[in-house]
Amino acid sequence: MSCIDEIHAFEQRVQQMERKLFLSALTVLKNQEDAQDALQEAVFKAYLHRSKLRDDKAFEAWITKILLHEAYRLYKKRKKYLHTVALEDCIPFFSENIPSDDIEFFSYISMLSKPEQEVVILRFYHAYSLQEISSILHLPISTVKSRLYRTLKKLKNQQEEKHESFTPAGKMDADRKTT
pLDDT in 10s for each residue of the chain, 179 residues:
678 888 888 899 999 999 889 988 888 887 888 899 999 999 999 999 988 888 888 888 889 989 989 988 888 887 655 444 444 444 444 435 555 566 667 777 778 888 888 888 888 878 888 998 888 888 899 999 999 999 999 888 887 877 665 544 444 444 444 44
Task: Give the pLDDT confidence score for residue 66 in this predicted structure.
Answer: 92
Q: Tell me the CA distances in angstroms from 160 to 109, 139, 157, 164, one per residue in order.
A: 15, 30, 5, 6
Q: Name the DSSP letter for residue 96.
A: S
Task: Give the pLDDT confidence score for residue 80 in this predicted structure.
Answer: 55
Give burial (CB, 10 Å; 0-12/13-18/19+) of 71.
Answer: buried
Residue 75 makes CB contacts below 8 A (sequence gap 6+) with 28, 29, 34, 82
